[in-house]
Amino acid sequence: MEKITGSKVIGVATPRIDGPAKVTGAATYSSDHHFPHMLYAWPVSATIAHGAVTSLDTAAAEKMTGVVAVYHRGNLGPLYRVPPAEGFNLIVDERRPPFEDDVVRYYGQYVAVVVAQTVEQARAAADRVKVSYSKRDPQLSKQLLATAGSTEKPKESSKRGDVAGAVKSSAVKVDETYTTPVETHNPIELHASVAVYDGQGYTLYETSQAVVNHRNVMAAMLGVAPEQVKVVTQFLGSGFGGKLWPWPHSALAAACARNLKRPVKLVVSRQMMFQNVGHRPATQQRIVLGADAKGKLTAIQQDFANHTSLLDDYQEDCGEATPFLYSTPNLRVTGVLARRTVGTPTAMRGPGAVPGLFALESAMDELAVKLNIDPVQLRLMNEPTIDESLNLPFSSRHLKECLTTGAQKFGWERRTAAVGSMKRDGLTLGWGVAACSWLAARADAEASVELRQDGSARVACATQDIGGGTYTVIAQLVSHTTGIPVDRVEVVLGDSSLPPGPISGGSWVTATVTPAVLEAAQKATKALLLAAVKSPGSPFMGKQQDALEFADGAVRLKGQSQSAIPMGDIMRAAKIKGVSGQAKSTGTFGDAHPKFSFHSYGAQFAEVTWQPEIARLRVSRIVTVIDAGRMLNPRPARNQIEGALMMGVGMALLEETLYDSRVGNPLNNNLADYIVAVHADTPQIDVTFLDYPDYELNALGARGVGEIGLAGIAAAITGAVYHATGKRVRDLPVRIEDLLEPARTRTA
């Protein structure tokens, strides 16, 4: 692939161009949209987890002040299912449209919706809708792996050699089961829909990580052509995967707007976000490792399970990283679903790999302890030279350097292996390490770039900025190609009517948009050269086009900087307002015949402090080294990793959605009781990017960050907890009770 090396803007730490709009409140988030005659919708949520609605009494609600309508299964009007599809353009996790039948499959499922003049009126009236149910027992058992009586059969996703035979003859074995709990996405921006219907088409202001997909799904659900739906998401207060695919409230808002011919706003409450908009499912994983006495892996077996809802098949692919992370002749990965009375789960930052690597990397730590080998050393000696599952070379893999650089920065050589043997300031220290990995990919993308008479550029793409810096990186790409300063590049995203762009998911936006934006910018400069030689009035009129070049925002004779004429002067002379270029690039994702194994890698080093006298555990220090290709903008990239590491502290020690087993409802459904890591939990964080370009993926060698920082970190922390306390915690999150005598067991 073509390589681009030098640049004045690529790789330069650039502040977010959307930062000022965000911090001054000028940025319009989806629920900030207001329209004349707008109404407010508030859903009525089921108060059982399993059963059926037997009657709905809306009379009292309908009589309340301000109430305009109460919709339910009997009067909402048509909503259709989304046809099954491949790719990333027609995805919905909860396939059943709201109110499709009277069956209740999870606590909080919407059974009616009230529309009123104000949000307070709608909410008050929703409380007065009387719903009667026939009830069945919730199903929430945490035993997820298939047992003797299970109906679901595990599916094999990767296999080589003979695992059972190799394990039997291994000198050293680890055979343990690990669990991760339900985790709920808690972006600070609530999910919201503001639906506008003009009698012909819909404009939907949504909290979406994928405006093109959202448009297609809503068109299918509403039964109209995609051209009749426009989805807008200018800014996102994050999403973590929870806003990738449309959820039922979005269809409800659109249907209400359709029925009433007035704009309708529906903001999902924090409580509802624990029920109706996805979560990372609970996982249970058995890992079996076999090794020879020196520590060379002979076998890896991973059998994972995750819960899903009664209707939808969401798989948390815990085996994502297992087949290629280490060299071993024998390997087998299986996965199985367990149906529970919960809302449909969905992707959450690093889906699959994050819980998967908690288990695999915990088991590697346990193996290192059994072998009495340093855990960094154990990983170094099991480094593969190729992806042994695909039998393909890695596009670019520097995991060993991540480990050695991280070890050096952390001071790992001072580690003494014995449990509780390290002290500082009266605290017991624990040091742990884990490797991490996340996929690298490119999806399809289109972009258009316009160069304008006023000396500025405009670039448009129907992707969106989840907060990670997409606006800025796209401005940098245009600036790199044209020489127009970053602050003169207008970046237009978050509108499904723009040239189709990627989902803000998989950490692949940067890699995906890079080729299309670079080429569109190139084409725009070529269009300007054409105008320069063909326009009467242009100083270059009549010259050969290939005698000219575009550099630093100006047209000039090749190599002759003194001949440069700013692009605005040429356009003014030619009486042209602007010239544009469009480009389309195809992705690597789902390639049937890949030539390379594309992944990012990293090493996580964590230090905990432990005070047994008062059972106080803190994560005090994290050193992370990331190999994720070339960093186009190291500033937001560092923020992504830092944020992910904080989420990892939460994953290891705090986060868990708890259900009442009798009612089936999430109990800690608010930010007071669902604990996420905050500033007070922040350790010292040191992030290093190795910055090796991956030119097999795109001309700039960019892969992308966002998810990889959350991979491995929980295992590094629980490894550190073991080192400090001698307690091996295999069920997240680590609780104080786990560290007291006697240790409890949690899987019931």
Phi, psi (5° rounding) for residue 229? -130, 130
Nearer to ligand MOS, 347 or 449 (CB): 347
| Residue list 165-224, contact with ligand MOS (CB under 6 A) | 209
- 3-state SS of 107-131 is CCCEEEEEEECCHHHHHHHHHHCEE
Note the Cα 273 to chain centre separation in Å. 17
Query: In whole angstroms, how close is the CB of 281 to ligand MOS at the nearest point?
Result: 13
Nearer to ligand MOS, 241 or 733 (CB): 241
Catalytic residue among 366, 655, 707, 737: 707
* Residue range at the interface with ligand MOS (CB under 6 A); choices 54-62, 346-354, 588-596, 644-652: 346-354
Q: CA-CA distance, 622 to 717, in Å (whole number)?
A: 9
Sign (positive or negative) of CA dihedral 514, 517, 518, 519: positive
* Residue range at the interface with ligand MOS (CB under 6 A); choices 4-12, 152-160, 341-349, 518-526: 341-349
| Residue list 226-265, contact with ligand MOS (CB under 6 A) | 241, 244
Residue type, 662: R
Query: In whole angstroms, how close is the CB of 338 to ligand MOS at the nearest point?
Result: 21
Query: In whole angstroms, how close is the CB of 391 to ligand MOS at the nearest point?
Result: 27
Nearer to ligand MOS, 532 or 647 (CB): 647
Q: CA-CA distance, 738 to 725, in Å (whole number)?
A: 10
Q: How many other C-beta atoms can be found within 10 angstroms of the C-beta atom of residue 482?
A: 25
Indicate if 707 belongs to the active site: yes
Among 348, 369, 478, 653, binds ligand MOS (CB under 6 A): 348
Among 347, 478, 484, 532, binds ligand MOS (CB under 6 A): 347
Among candidate residues 348, 326, 323, 344, the one with its CA nearest the CA of residue 180: 348
Q: Write the CB contacts of 560 (distance below 8 Å, at least 6 apart in sequence).
A: none
Q: CA-CA distance, 579 to 618, in Å (whole number)?
A: 57
Q: CA-CA distance, 366 to 680, in Å (whole number)?
A: 30
User: In a 3-state reduction of DSSP, which class is residue 548?
Assistant: strand
Nearer to ligand MOS, 317 or 361 (CB): 317
Nearer to ligand MOS, 205 or 508 (CB): 508
* Residue range at the interface with ligand MOS (CB under 6 A); choices 342-350, 357-365, 376-384, 673-681: 342-350
| Residue window 365-404: x/- pattern of binding to ligand MOS, with contact defined by CB under 6 A | ----------------------------------------
Query: In whole angstroms, how close is the CB of 508 to ligand MOS at the nearest point?
Result: 8
394 forms beta bridges with 597
Helices assigned H by DSSP within 486-609? 509-534, 567-573
Nearer to ligand MOS, 503 or 554 (CB): 503
Among 51, 323, 351, 636, binds ligand MOS (CB under 6 A): 351
Phi, psi (5° rounding) for residue 260? -100, -10
Q: Write the CB contacts of 345 (distance below 8 Å, at least 6 apart in sequence).
A: 93, 182, 278, 279, 280, 281, 306, 307, 308, 309, 314, 316
Beta strands 427-439; 103-104: pairing state? unpaired
Query: In whole angstroms, how close is the CB of 639 to ligand MOS at the nearest point?
Result: 16
* HSE value, Cβ hemisphere, 13 Å, CA-based, for 716: 31
List the helix and strand counts (H, then E) for the chain.
17, 27
Helices assigned H by DSSP within 181-260? 211-222, 248-260
* Residue range at the interface with ligand MOS (CB under 6 A); choices 98-106, 271-279, 345-353, 710-718: 345-353
Nearer to ligand MOS, 571 or 711 (CB): 711
Query: In whole angstroms, how close is the CB of 214 to ligand MOS at the nearest point?
Result: 14
Q: Which two tokens stand for residue 657?
A: 């959605």
Tell me how many degrees the CA angle 157-159-160 measures, rounded to the nearest 5.
160
Q: How many other C-beta atoms can be found within 10 angstroms of the C-beta atom of residue 716?
A: 35
Nearer to ligand MOS, 320 or 374 (CB): 320
CB 447 within 8 A of CB 583: yes
* Residue range at the interface with ligand MOS (CB under 6 A); choices 19-27, 54-62, 348-356, 402-410: 348-356
Tell me how many degrees the CA angle 176-375-704 measures, rounded to the nearest 5.
90
338 forms beta bridges with 307
Residue 659 exposed, middle or buried by CB count within 10 Å (0-12, 13-18, 19+): buried
Nearer to ligand MOS, 125 or 646 (CB): 646
Query: In whole angstroms, how close is the CB of 506 to ligand MOS at the nearest point?
Result: 5
CB 726 within 8 A of CB 420: yes
* Residue range at the interface with ligand MOS (CB under 6 A); choices 301-309, 343-351, 435-443, 622-630: 343-351
Among 248, 323, 501, 505, binds ligand MOS (CB under 6 A): 505
Query: In whole angstroms, how close is the CB of 514 to ligand MOS at the nearest point?
Result: 18
CB 580 within 8 A of CB 449: yes
Nearer to ligand MOS, 347 or 532 (CB): 347
| Residue window 698-737: x/- pattern of binding to ligand MOS, with contact defined by CB under 6 A | ---------x------------------------------
Query: In whole angstroms, how close is the CB of 589 to ligand MOS at the nearest point?
Result: 12
Among 506, 581, 683, 693, binds ligand MOS (CB under 6 A): 506
Nearer to ligand MOS, 388 or 707 (CB): 707
Among candidate residues 371, 364, 394, 239, the one with its CA nearest the CA of residue 712: 364
Q: Which two tokens stand for residue 250?
A: 């979005």
Give the C-alpha distances (Å, rounded to integers) separating 73 from 48, 56, 342, 583. 17, 10, 21, 45
DSSP classification of residue 496: T
Helices assigned H by DSSP within 535-598? 567-573
- The residue with its CB nearest to ligand MOS is 241
Question: By CB under 6 A, is residue 494 in contact with ligand MOS?
Answer: no
Among candidate residues 240, 384, 333, 88, the one with its CA nearest the CA of residue 709: 240
Query: In whole angstroms, how close is the CB of 687 to ligand MOS at the nearest point?
Result: 19
CB 185 within 8 A of CB 676: no
Query: In whole angstroms, how close is the CB of 238 to ligand MOS at the nearest point?
Result: 9
Q: CA-CA distance, 160 to 168, in Å (whole number)?
A: 16
User: In a 3-state reduction of DSSP, which class is residue 643?
Assistant: helix
Nearer to ligand MOS, 531 or 708 (CB): 708
Query: In whole angstroms, how close is the CB of 303 to ligand MOS at the nearest point?
Result: 23
Query: In whole angstroms, how close is the CB of 234 to ligand MOS at the nearest point?
Result: 18
Nearer to ligand MOS, 239 or 263 (CB): 239
Size of the site for ligand MOS (CB under 6 A): 10
The residues assigned a catalytic role are 707
Residues making contact with ligand MOS (CB under 6 A): 209, 241, 244, 347-349, 351, 505-506, 707
